[in-house]
Amino acid sequence: LQALEACLPLACLGALAVAFLAWRRGPQRYLSELPLRYDGPWIEAYWSSRPIRFFQRLVEVAVRCGAFGLLLELDKALGQGDVRTPQRAADARELITDLGPAFVKVVQVWASRPDILPEAYQREFEKLLEQVRPFGKEAALDTLRRSLPGADEGLFDDMSAFDRPVASASIGQVYRASAGGREVAVKVQRPDVREQVTLDLFVIRRLSAWGAYAPVESYARQFRSLGQLIDR
């Protein structure tokens, strides 16, 4: 107890010194907000300061991708690898779409590289170059309201234009609407896209670094390729 009492003044001085240096340094923007453009160190600093959110997403991605990898290995063990490849490729496309825009963007790059993927996966991933599963009308209107207050109060002539997009991509989708009698194209980003994309890029960087040491060489090679792609 006496030893603890002796250390207490030093601990208080240390805490005061840290607080003073933090005050002198001022607010750390890269810890309180996300960059508008890709900035690897900034994104890493931001999400490193939010370990719970990062860990939750990491576990979610690792479990879903790991389960898919186990299915592939099971197919091989049962001698059904070649037979089930077309279905597994379609399943992979659905999985990537579910995981979100950052994963779709990565796969879109892979889809333009026929030397990387098996033919069945190439065909399925090429579909993501043309059309990505759209998000719902309510999510689109919520995003629109945040960007354009009053968007559903007379800005557009007919809100039914937002029932169905004319095109859907990884980051957003486009609607054909009319405003004041003029036909306009309205592009709406996916909900919370900046936060989701930056978090997933951080997760992908971490998984690719760890996956490069996977005991199965084919997986380790894919993870190394993924890490190189993200770091370009």
> Tens of pLDDT along the chain (232 residues)?
455 455 666 556 655 654 444 444 444 444 567 776 777 788 888 888 889 999 999 999 999 998 998 999 999 999 998 899 999 999 999 999 999 999 998 888 888 777 778 889 999 999 988 788 888 888 888 888 888 776 666 778 888 888 899 888 888 889 998 888 889 898 888 888 888 999 998 998 888 888 888 787 777 887 887 777 776 6
The whole-number pLDDT of residue 97 equals 93
Whether residue 202 contacts residue 44, with contact meaning beta carbons closer than 8 Å, is answered with yes
The pLDDT of residue 12 is: 60
pLDDT at position 21, please?
45
Task: Report pLDDT for 17.
Answer: 56
